[in-house]
Amino acid sequence: MNPTPAELETLREAGRIASKARNWASKEIKPGYLLRDLQEGMEVIIREAGALPPFPAQTSRNSIGAHYCSSPSDSTQFEENDLVKIDVGAHIDGLIVDTGVSVDLSTDQRWSAMILAASDALDAAIDMCAPDVDVEDIGERVQQVINSAGFRPILNLTGHGLGKWTLHDSPQIPNARIGIKGSLEAGSIFAIEPFATSGKGYVEDKG
């Protein structure tokens, strides 16, 4: 999409709201807290601020890479030493933003290096963003930063474009050079999502 000035301001407002929910969750989370309660709390913040969630708020623990949403009866709690990925978004009139943060619930900061690797990769990718930049060049840079910290990128999780009423739009933005075609266009809106792991570098769909 190529937003008008008014739509761009709406996107910024949605971004402020999603960031508020994300930041609240990253401070509120602690061992013993129900995953369901944290997810619902983020959605309450979004709705009270005048936006809507474009997807259910998600909190994924440890080897679950992404997209964990609790059922109403889910009694799963965060535990000490968890690595938690918070994923939340907001939309206003179909204009969508998508944000996330990783939280280390360990007492010895055992996940801090991995979190920093993903954060540094995100910063490096943002620095590259400009019209006509090849998405594979961004992915290659993400992989270089994550590899240099001693981790692997997750190859089958990617960033994505954000369209009006469309959460996953083109282009895909990979976390390595894996054969995805496309380039950034002037005016495009997208989410860059580096994932770092100490594992094999891919996730499996468990339903």
Classify residue 207: in a domain, yes or no: no
Residues 50-105 have pLDDT tens digits of 999 999 999 999 999 999 999 999 999 999 999 999 999 999 999 999 999 999 99
Domain ranges, residue 64: 1-107
Residues 95-132 have pLDDT tens digits of 999 999 999 999 999 999 999 999 999 999 999 999 99
86, 107, 128: which is the final residue of a domain? Answer: 107
Q: Give the number of other Cβ atoms within 10 Å of residue 63's Cβ.
A: 9
Same domain for 53 and 4? yes
Residue 6 has a pLDDT of: 98
What's the token pair of residue 60? Answer: 């994924």
In this prediction the pTM is: 0.95
Structural domains counted in the chain: 2
Task: Identify the residue whose tokens are 């930041």.
Answer: 23
Residue 207 has a pLDDT of: 64
Question: Contact at 8 Å (CB) between 176 and 133?
Answer: no
What CATH number did the domain enclosing 69 receive?
Answer: 3.90.230.10
CA angle at 162 for the pair 161 and 166, rounded to the nearest 5°: 120
- Edge to edge, the sheet with strand 58-61 lists 58-61, 83-92, 95-104
Same domain for 46 and 82? yes
84, 107, 130: which is the final residue of a domain? Answer: 107
Same domain for 121 and 102? no
| Nearest partner of 202 among 135, 155, 146, judged by Cα | 155
Model confidence at 1, in pLDDT bands (50, 70, 90)?
confident
pLDDT of 35 higher than 70 = yes
Residues 174-189 have pLDDT tens digits of 999 999 999 999 999 9
Classify residue 70: in a domain, yes or no: yes
Classify residue 51: in a domain, yes or no: yes
